[in-house]
Structure 1
Amino acid sequence: MASTPFAIANKTREYWPAARHDAPPNTSGLSLTIRGLGKSFGPREVLKSLNLHIPAGQFVAIVGKSGCGKSTLLRMLVGLDRSTSGEFWYGASPGQGLDKSAVRVMFQEPRLLPWARVLANVEVGLGRGRKETGARERALATLAEVGLEERRGDWPGTLSGGQKQRVALARALVSHPRVLAFDEPLGALDALTRISMQRLLERVWREQGFTALLVTHDVAEAITLADRVLIIEEGVIKLDLRIDLPRPRQRGTAEIAALEGKILDELLGETRAGENS
């Protein structure tokens, strides 16, 4: 049964969350509800009373110009920052505290421990579970899932940028999170490595069924990976766009180009209007 949407007011327009689409089978993810969420830094209001519902297992991409508040929103949702107003919760019950063991985040920088070997870096993601029986086998299995089992004994300094991000992904996945947040995790990679990592992210999302929240500047990446793209502008959700395309998606198709154009028009509309005046 579809969740009840919340109206999102933006100046003179209203947006309603897109319907859930193409969530992984056997979803283990948590739904996310945001109600009146705001964030200010002194007198500067970065996010303005956001309202949103994300069904369990959905892959949502958040895009916007630099400084629009998308990374600030992600940091609040994973417990790294506090909101100024409003609330959010995972699951069906309002007022539930954030279970950090169910939520993991992957950053643009791999943030690997240089003094620990690859396998030990993955085991960090288990937290206190590192001492449990079978923890090492679980870490090895996760390394194999990202294609790096043979590098388990190597030092992080010997890995390429893409390989380091694969280790970071394994570290995030090893605890089987129900929500996985990505803050520009592929931004520093070369084009071919980035495409390879996008395919890996989609595969593990479909296999594990977590709810995915991706912040990215790459509009094509958002369309390729997400069921739904949110545009944040001036602290509000300007557009909530459903991506109703079958998977796997291939860049360069007419459908993706049309959606990319629509999103870019929203992001650059004011600039284009100024250029045409």
Structure 2
Amino acid sequence: MQEALRFRPLEAEAVARGDFVEEARQFRRSPDVPSRGLSLTIRGLRKSFGDNEVLRGIDLHIPAGQSVAIVGRSGCGKSTLLRLIAGLEKPTAGSIGFGEQARPEDIRVMFQEPRLLPWARVLSNVEVGLGRERSSANAQARAEKALVEVGLGDKRGQWPSVLSGGQKQRVALARALVSQPRVLAFDEPLGALDALTRISMQRLLERVWRDQGFTAILVTHDVSEAVALADRVLVIENGRIAQDFNVDIARPRERGSAELAALEGAILKNLLEGTEDTSDDL
């Protein structure tokens, strides 16, 4: 049932119906970004864990290739929404559909923890991302290419235990990229990194998104990270989308600029005026 839900192609007229016309209009693709991502449409999405209703009717359209950040207080449902999009959870009600027929390998997730196999060398850890294609003749070449993309071509034979935290996350990113996903979901992937490493990784994430053109969905507690990386910032509150901010600022973005600071301030004000946190993040 869930596989049918996740990979159900949407009719063109359903994607562009009135509810989502404004969202689609706001996204203007840069001409140098390849169009390879999948569009995503969510209607009436609800998710409950027992008596706890975490998501209470999400309606959302994300155009193909857009970069979207999701922020909100702990317990608001942002990570649950990400897991539903990735197919890691089953919805209680509602629908999740992509703009065309999608394969399971078209949707990948990068988590906060690298989740590397300690008994496998770096190259083998990246090859894991190929899934059923790992036995193909070009599997090693594809894994090596992904490592080069994240700047770790010289670490292919290393064990994960000798890598720094930032390097481990680069390996995790290479593992996610090796299958050339069309939707890449990020669940707080930089949360455990120090400030300088985090900025470096943010720049890497932006570069690979621009180079590969996948649809990016980032869950983060860091509002400055959200406005630096995303085309849109969604604020989730009490299981619903409370605000949808369009980040109409040219790239590359200058961190600390007045434009970014003003937008970050508006989002933080919205978050601080929300309801008090009462539970752990779900």
TM-score by length of 1: 0.90
Task: Provide Cα deviations, 1:16-61, integer angstroms capped at 9, x if missing partner.
Answer: 6362134562210000000000001112111011111000000000
Cα distance in 2 between the residues matched to 1:112 and 1:135: 18
Query: Is the counterpart of residue 139 in structure 1 residue 143 in structure 2?
Result: yes
Query: Is the counterpart of residue 57 in structure 1 residue 65 in structure 2?
Result: yes
Cα distance in 2 between the residues matched to 1:206 and 1:43: 41
SS of the residue aligned with 2:266?
Answer: helix
1:250 counterpart letter in structure 2: E
SS of the residue aligned with 1:189?
Answer: coil
Could you list the runs of 5+ residues in structure 1 that have no partner in the other structure?
9-14, 273-277
Could you list the runs of 5+ residues in structure 2 that have no partner in the other structure?
1-11, 277-282
* Residues 237, 274 of structure 2: 8 Å contact kept: no
Task: Provide Cα deviations, 1:152-204, integer angstroms capped at 9, x if missing partner.
Answer: 00000000000000000000000000000000000000000000000000000
1:59 counterpart letter in structure 2: S
Q: Which residue of 1 aligns with 2:223?
A: 219
Cα distance in 2 between the residues matched to 1:115 and 1:137: 21
TM-score by length of 2: 0.88
Cα distance in 2 between the residues matched to 1:4 and 1:266: 29
Q: Which residue of 1 aligns with 2:181?
A: 177
Q: Which residue of 1 aligns with 2:88?
A: 80
Of 3, 13, 16, the match for 1:4: 16
Give the CA deviation at 1:5: 5.8
Give the CA deviation at 1:7: 4.1
The 1:269–1:16 alpha-carbon spacing in structure 2 relative to 1, beyond 3 Å, is: farther
Cα distance in 2 between the residues matched to 1:88 and 1:186: 27
Q: Which residue of 2 aligns with 1:89?
A: 97
Superposed counterparts of 1:12-91, under 5 Å: 17=23, 19-23=26-30, 25-91=33-99
1:17 counterpart letter in structure 2: E
Cα distance in 2 between the residues matched to 1:39 and 1:238: 17
Give the CA deviation at 1:250: 1.5
* Residues 6, 53 of structure 1: 8 Å contact kept: no
2:232 counterpart letter in structure 1: R
Cα distance in 1 between the residues matched to 2:17 and 2:271: 24
1:4 counterpart letter in structure 2: A
Q: Which residue of 2 aligns with 1:12?
A: none
Aligned length in residues = 262
Superposed counterparts of 1:104-119, under 5 Å: 104-119=108-123
* Residues 64, 70 of structure 1: 8 Å contact kept: yes
Of 187, 194, 201, the match for 1:190: 194
Give the CA deviation at 1:134: 1.4
Cα distance in 2 between the residues matched to 1:34 and 1:112: 32
2:125 counterpart letter in structure 1: N
Q: Which residue of 2 aligns with 1:239?
A: 243
* Residues 6, 51 of structure 1: 8 Å contact kept: no
The 1:58–1:270 alpha-carbon spacing in structure 2 relative to 1, beyond 3 Å, is: closer
* Residues 76, 82 of structure 1: 8 Å contact kept: yes
The 1:16–1:63 alpha-carbon spacing in structure 2 relative to 1, beyond 3 Å, is: farther
* Residues 78, 100 of structure 1: 8 Å contact kept: no
Cα distance in 2 between the residues matched to 1:6 and 1:38: 21
SS of the residue aligned with 2:119?
Answer: coil
SS of the residue aligned with 2:61?
Answer: strand
Which deviates more, 18-27 or 42-51? 18-27
Query: Is the counterpart of residue 127 in structure 1 residue 139 in structure 2?
Result: no
The 1:7–1:236 alpha-carbon spacing in structure 2 relative to 1, beyond 3 Å, is: farther
* Aligned-CA RMSD value: 2.0
SS of the residue aligned with 1:244?
Answer: coil
Superposed counterparts of 1:202-217, under 5 Å: 202-217=206-221
Give the CA deviation at 1:131: 1.2
SS of the residue aligned with 1:17?
Answer: helix
